[in-house]
A and B are shown apart, each in its own frame.
Chain A
Amino acid sequence: DVKVTQSSRYLVKRTGEKVFLECVQDMDHENMFWYRQDPGLGLRLIYFSYDVKMKEKGDIPEGYSVSREKKERFSLILESASTNQTSMYLCASSPRTGRFTDTQYFGPGTRLTVL
């Protein structure tokens, strides 16, 4: 089974803090994604990565950055956390080729509260 893990289930930070959310997948997938989930808005893509050291902006990249130094790990960084970044953050991965390409596998999520 594909396993995607996220470093924290719940996180509470203060406005202005730098926040790191970590995601690790164990299936050697090339593609990795960061989403935020808000009620009524569904999932919105923040950033994605096709390969190590490669990244592309999603639909709502403002206020976020990412890092992919190793294939299995994709980090989301909030440079200066703000209250409007309080949300559920979901990481996902998918293979680039093969019959399961296009199917994204999700981690359990990190619920971030910024006070």
Chain B
Amino acid sequence: AQSVAQPEDQVNVAEGNPLTVKCTYSVSGNPYLFWYVQYPNRGLQFLLKYITGDNLVKGSYGFEAEFNKSQTSFHLKKPSALVSDSALYFCAVREVKAAGNKLTFGGGTRVLVKP
């Protein structure tokens, strides 16, 4: 079975400071990993994904994430947060050999960037 944990319900950060949203995963084989963002009253938007190759993945809106196989983590980062980054962030995993592309999502982390 595959699972995802986002240990923080909420992250507060001042505008201009670095932002990190944590994610750890569990799969029996190799993972595909994803980050999605949900702005207020909007559907989920794809941010970035790790499939294979370079452990540092760059995505939309200046976000990046680092895949760490030994720590089974895929933390989302942004060097300088903006107020407009305030949203709900979801990490998701799919085991490479799993049938179809069924994703398992974490519980979500709310990010609040204060001016």
Contact = CB atoms under 8 A, between A and B. Distances in A.
Contacts of A33: 102
A108 B42 contact: yes
Contact of B46 (A44, A48, A58, A104): A104
B43 interface: yes
B101 A101 contact: yes
Contacts of A101: 101
Main SS class of interface, A? strand
Interface residues of A, number: 26
B34 interface: yes
Interface string B20-33: 00000000000010
A69 interface: no
A90 B102 contact: no
Given A90-B43, A90-B44, A102 B101 contact: yes
Interface string A37-48: 000111111001
B90 A102 contact: no
A42 B91 CA distance: 9
Contacts of B49: 102-103
B12 interface: no
Contact of A42 (B41, B90, B94, B101): B90
A31 B101 contact: yes
Interface in B12-57: 32, 34, 36, 41-46, 49, 51
B46 A103 contact: yes
Interface of A: 4, 31, 33, 35, 40-45, 48, 50, 56, 58, 90, 92, 94, 101-109
Interface of B: 4, 6, 9, 32, 34, 36, 41-46, 49, 51, 90, 92, 94, 100-108
Given A48-B102, A105-B46, 19 more contacts: A31-B101, A40-B107, A42-B90, A42-B106, A43-B90, A43-B105, A45-B104, A50-B100, A56-B100, A90-B43, A101-B101, A102-B32, A102-B94, A102-B101, A104-B46, A106-B43, A106-B45, A108-B42, A108-B43
